[in-house]
Amino acid sequence: MSISRKSFLKTACLSGVCLCGFSAIALSTKNIERSKPLLSVPEDNQVLIQDWVSMLISNLNSGLDQEAVRKVLRKSAIVHYNNLKMDDVLSGYIGHLDKFIGFLQEKWNWEIDYNKSNKTLIANENKNYCVCPIIKHKKEQDTSAICYCSEGFTEKMFSTVAGVAATATVISSVRRGDERCKYKIVFA
């Protein structure tokens, strides 16, 4: 059976085995110390990697079904999550959602509105720029699909802390033209 390069790449990306090296794109987390980098990339190649991933995201966004793109990018969030050693960061907050909310408000300057009765939390990053280290924000290029990665990261983070499944949805995004990035998190 013969398979075209385009079909191979599409299948690889949709199955979560993207050949783009998503593991290499978490390299711009300069404010977080790591014991050793996951990948050593010369600084001038960071622009190449970010531009390449930006183009990939733009092409995925315009060429594929959005639910398929969402599925791939949500799964890819684990690379950034692991790179930041979020399990270590969150270890003192597991089972203490209120304490974690306080951390987000104090250390990350997030605005949180948590409705315990309907198990819904609205998290506002409270910044007028995209904090995503994966790709630079280029207004002329539609890279808004990267927000699906943020959904996956947020779901993993809140599920870990709360100890129950959480579903996160980006409801506002700088990349989509909004003033702030906001998430709706619903706990099971």
pLDDT computed for residue 78 by the predictor:
93
Q: Which residues contact 19 (CB under 8 A, 6 or more apart)?
A: 9, 12, 13
Torsion-angle region of 95 (φ positive above 0: left; ψ -120 to 50: alpha; else: beta): left
- Cα–Cα distance, 21 to 49 (Å, whole number): 9
Question: Would you say residue 15 has pLDDT above 70?
Answer: no
- Taking residues 37-56, what's their average pLDDT? 72
Q: Using one digit for the tens of pLDDT, what is the confidence trace for 133-163?
A: 887 766 677 888 899 999 999 999 999 999 9
Name which residue leads in pLDDT, 53 or 75.
75
Judged by average pLDDT, the poorest of 24-38, 109-123, 124-138 is: 24-38
pLDDT computed for residue 42 by the predictor:
59
Judged by average pLDDT, the poorest of 24-28, 116-120, 147-151, 174-178 is: 24-28
Q: Using one digit for the tens of pLDDT, what is the confidence trace for 48-74?
A: 888 888 888 888 878 788 899 999 899
Sign of CA dihedral 24, 27, 28, 29: positive
Domains of the chain: 5-187 (3.30.1380)
Predicted model pTM: 0.73
What is the token pair recorded at 55?
């183009």
